[in-house]
A = this chain, B = another copy of it.
Amino acid sequence: MDILSSVPPRSADPHLRDKIINTAAQLLATEGAVSARRLARELGTSTMVVYTHFGGMDELTRQVMRRGFADFGTELDRGAVTDDAVADWMTYLWSYRRFALREPHLYGVMFGPGLAAFRLGDPADLEAARSTFVSLLRRIHACVNAARWEVDDVTTAGEAVWSGVHGHTTLELTGFFGSVGRDPVRSYSEILTRMSIGLGDHALATARSLSTARRRAVRADRAEAASAR
Contact = CB atoms under 8 A, between A and B. Distances in A.
B199 A194 contact: yes
Given A156-B190, A162-B171, A170-B170, 18 more contacts: A111-B170, A113-B174, A118-B179, A119-B178, A126-B180, A130-B180, A160-B168, A160-B187, A163-B168, A164-B167, A165-B167, A166-B171, A193-B198, A194-B194, A194-B195, A195-B198, A197-B197, A198-B199
Given A162-B167, A168-B163, A191-B163, A186 B156 contact: yes
A198 B194 CA distance: 4
A79 interface: no
Contacts of A199: 194, 198
Interface string A90-120: 0000000000000000000001110110110
Nearest to A191: B160
A174 B170 CA distance: 14
Contact of A119 (B163, B175, B191, B193): B175
Given A198-B194, A198-B197, A155 B182 contact: yes
A220 interface: no
Contacts of A156: 186-187, 190
A169 B166 CA distance: 10
Contacts of A162: 167, 171
A196 interface: yes
Nearest to A165: B167
A153 B193 CA distance: 13
A123 B118 CA distance: 39
A115 B197 CA distance: 31
17 contacts: A115-B175, A153-B190, A156-B187, A159-B168, A159-B177, A160-B164, A160-B168, A162-B171, A163-B167, A163-B168, A163-B171, A163-B187, A166-B171, A167-B167, A167-B168, A167-B169, A198-B198
A51 interface: no
Nearest to A113: B174
Nearest to A200: B197
B180 A116 contact: no
A49 interface: no
A157 B119 contact: no
